[in-house]
Structure 1
Amino acid sequence: MKKVIFSVLVLGVVACMDMSNVQPEQNINYPAAYIVNGESSTLSVINLNTNEVATTIQLTDGSSTSTHGAGHTATPGFLAYPHHIYINAAKSQIAVAAPGVDLSAGHAGGTHAGTGKVAVLDAMKGTNVKIFDVPMSNHNAVFSPDGKEIWTSQTDGKVLVYDATTYALKNTVMVGNGSAEVTFSFDGTVAFVANGEDNSVSAISPITKTVLATIAVGKNPVGAWIGADNRMYVDNEDGQTVSIIDVKTLKIVETVALGFMPGFVAYQADMKEMWVTDPTAGKVHWWTKGADGKMTRTGSFSTGAGSHAIAFNAMTAYVTNQEAASVSVIDIMQHKVTKTLTVGLKPNGIVIKL
């Protein structure tokens, strides 16, 4: 109840304040990591040259929440619970989804009946390019490999494909129930969507927009995360497993038992390691891939409460910690946190622009 009261108070302040400079133009002309802060409705931008937070961008929803009388300029509202972030191939735009519900505690039942939004921002300036509604709650919004489309899922079992220039709806692909994260394989040949309520992953042709295969995985999958080894790594929250899919065959090649609810999975190609965040313990666990392609549990290290998304940049990793409002900077070879950066509330998604 306190959270609801706080949100109302914040919106009341937003309605009465001058927000003409709510998105001042940035100059992000440096290698950067963008972190989505779900409760703060902001992006924290880390300068990768210094590993310091360089700026904070307010995420707005393009609507008017003004309660002023005639003659006053309408003011924009905040983007509600932004979740996950992707960048286009040209590194010029970033896309953020706003499902309108807090997904930080897990995804079981974490949907709502309202509409979702997609916000497209200029990656250098940090300002809105376009904000558009989608019919239902959406888990993420991702650019197609060629940058010409934006794909977003709907919790009622659809993937919507929009033109990235006109923002017109081009295709609707029917998938499974409770569809969550949409991702593309490393080589861009297949799109994947995790169907949480059906315990499956749909593989889709980016060209024909048809389902190539429906792959049974563990209980309550959230995302099929990209591996540079031509595999996709599916985090099954309730099943507490990772299902590994071969992109060429669209078959499960291994199921890894975790013993905890996963938050995110990432494959580090240089070290041949699978990293899995453990939000409950505030840790990252890692497995090493052997010559036979199988994963062996190797070790773990602490990051922060609610550890979630992982991004790699050369031999440095970044982990968002949702409950700690921080990002851990990690030396990959030593599996050691070297710095902790304070960001906004409930940080979740992260993407890197070099």
Structure 2
Amino acid sequence: MIFSRNILIFFTTIIVFSSCKEKKIIKTEPIEIDYPKAYIVNGGSNDISIINLNELSVNKIIQLTDVGRFPHHISISPDGKKLAVAIPEYDFILGHAALHNATDKKGGISIIDAQTGSTLLKIALPNVNFNAAFSPDGKEIWSATSTHSGEMYVFDTQTGILKNKIALGADPSEVVFSKDGLNSYVALGESSFVYVINAVSKEIVNTIKVDQFPTNVWAGNDGKIYVENKIAKSINIIDTKAFLATEYIDVNFLPGKVVYNQLMNELWICQANENFVAYFERKNNVWSLKGNIETGNDAHSISFSKDEKKAFIVNQKANSVSVIDVLNHSKIKDIIVGSQPNGIVLKE
């Protein structure tokens, strides 16, 4: 009996040990939950900071050192799987005017896997570019070179092959697409016009008169195109159906990025080189200043959460992102990111 009992204990031990060992072998690493993110491109530190929007803290960094210097502005593909960043050889913190003396500098585009951070494509451009924008179907990437004979370049997103090249004019800057996806818009800085390019035919279908020397265009989720004019200190608002600038806002600061918040019926405008964002309210068909929100030094870019209740403001000289409660226009916190951040996109 003692022998039998010992054998029983021996085999029981083996079974338990084998069972434990088997569980250890088949055990797999937990799959990472795809949390809502903000991607912030940092021109000084050559990287992308990823903010976990649930925790409001940076939890990952994508290094861009291998693709070039001074990454500038960032966009996300319609399916949320890819990021596009302009890679000019020029540091835009020196100012747009200094571009005239940077004729030897080249441009470029980097397309990045939004999940892994790996570089999928690196595309060279002959001159400095401001941004790279995905077409509404995500099949193309558009970017304009900013010279006195600037051109719009259209590449295949998968292969990087050049599909179209469109002659523009003096100093085109940011390229954006209208909400309906029919056309792209780009301001020509050495003119008083915004060009409209058909997304399918790749032809210039309209030129829209705005204030002289427009510095950038921004697409609103209300279907309007907002034209930033730093020299004139004004905003032109383009009706994309009529192809006309139908409204104007004069401001007492250098305007930067313009974003419309539908929830509050407010227009938020970065005050370049300052630590404020101004917000305007439309009443009786007129946009009027409603207030200012303190951010960090050099409010440069804005993105709203999907429910439009939070704003994320990139502060270029403070190396931070200010999180703002939209409903009461108060700061929740500042999040430190990389050096000289200049663009942001959200994936929720």
TM-score range, shorter chain: 0.7 to 0.9
- 1:220 is the counterpart of 2:194: no
> Do the aligned partners of 2:209 and 2:244 also contact (CA within 8 Å) in 1?
no
Q: What displacement does 1:126 show?
A: 0.9
Q: Does 1:102 align with 2:73?
A: no
Measured in 2, the distance between the counterparts of 1:248 and 1:281 equals 34
Q: CA deviation at 1:27?
A: 5.9
The equivalent residue for 2:28 is none
Deviation at 1:231, TM superposition (A): 0.6
CA distance in 2, matches of 1:263, 1:96: 19
- For residue 291 of structure 1, report the CA deviation from its aligned partner: 5.0
Residues 226 and 238 in structure 2, CA contact (< 8 A), matched pair in contact too: yes
From 316, 332, 347, give the equivalent of 2:310.
Answer: 316
Distance 2:252 2:47 in 1: 33
Question: What is the CA distance between 1:245 and its match in structure 2?
Answer: 0.3
Task: Write the mapping of 1:128-139 to structure 2, written as runs, cut at 5 A.
Answer: 128-139=119-130
1:120 has 2:92 as partner:
no
Whether the 8 Å contact between 2:179 and 2:221 is mirrored in structure 1 is yes
- Counterpart in 2 of 1:301? 293
Could you tell me which of 71, 76, 82 is aligned with 1:93? Answer: 82
**1:107: how far off?**
2.1
Counterparts of 2:258 and 2:70, CA distance in 1: 22
Q: Deviations over 1:230-264 (max 9, x none)?
A: 21111111111111000111100111111111121
Q: Select the residue among 168, 172, 175 that pairs with 1:179.
A: 172
Assess if the C-alpha contact under 8 Å between 1:28 and 1:124 holds in 2.
no
Aligned to 1:348: 342
Matches of 1:262 and 1:227, distance apart in 2:
16
Identity of aligned residues (%): 39
Q: Which residue of structure 1 lines up, in the alignment, with residue 45 of structure 2? A: 40
C-alpha distance 181-152 of structure 1, shift in aligned 2 (>3 A): same
Query: Which structure 1 residue ranges, 5 or more long, are not aligned?
Result: 1-25, 63-78
Q: Cα 1:229–1:291, aligned 2, differ >3 Å: closer, same or farther?
A: farther
Q: Which aligned runs of 4 or more in structure 1 are off by greater than 6 angstroms? A: none
Change (3 A) 1:121 1:28: farther
2:275 aligns with 282
Contact kept, 8 Å, 1:224 with 1:235, in 2: the verdict is: yes
Tell me the matched-pair count.
312
| Structure 2 runs not aligned, ≥5 long | 1-30
Amino acid at match of 1:322: Q
State the alpha-carbon separation in 2 of the partners of residues 176 and 260 from structure 1: 28
Query: Structure 1's 204 and 301: CA in aligned 2 closer, same or farther, altered over 3 A?
Result: same
Distance 2:134 2:327 in 1: 31
Alignment of 1:47-66 (within 5 A): 47-62=52-67
- Equivalent in the alignment of 1:16: none
Q: Give the TM-score, by structure 2 length.
A: 0.86
For 1:138 and 1:153, the matched residues in 2 are separated by 6
Deviation per CA, 1:21-72: give whole Å up to 9, x if none. Answer: xxxxx9682111000111111101011111111111111344xxxxxxxxxx
The change in CA–CA distance for 1:146 and 1:129 in structure 2 (over 3 A counts) is same
Q: How far apart, CA to CA, are the structure 1 residues paired with 2:92 and 2:214?
A: 14
Q: Of the candidates 316, 319, 335, which is equivalent to residue 329 of structure 2?
A: 335
For the 8 Å contact 1:328–1:339, the answer to whether it is kept is yes
CA distance in 2, matches of 1:325, 1:214: 37
Check the 8 A contact 1:279/1:305 in 2, yes or no.
no
Task: Pick one of 193, 196, 219 that aligns with 1:200.
Answer: 193
Contact 1:231 1:244 in 2 (8 A): yes
Question: Matched residues in 1 for 2:108 and 2:59: separation?
Answer: 26
The match for 2:72 is 83
| Per-residue deviation, residues 108-158 of structure 1 (Å, max 9, x unmatched) | 233522211101100011111111211110000010000000000011321
Distance 2:289 2:331 in 1: 20
CA distance in 2, matches of 1:251, 1:198: 16
Structure 1 Cα separation of the partners of residues 132 and 199 of structure 2: 15
Q: Is the 8 A contact 1:61 1:119 kept in 2?
A: no
Task: Please state which structure has a larger fraction of its residues in helix.
Answer: 2
Give the whole-Å Cα distance in 1 for the aligned partners of 2:69 and 2:187.
23
Q: TM-score, normalised by structure 1?
A: 0.85
Q: CA deviation at 1:201?
A: 1.0
Contact 1:102 1:110 in 2 (8 A): no
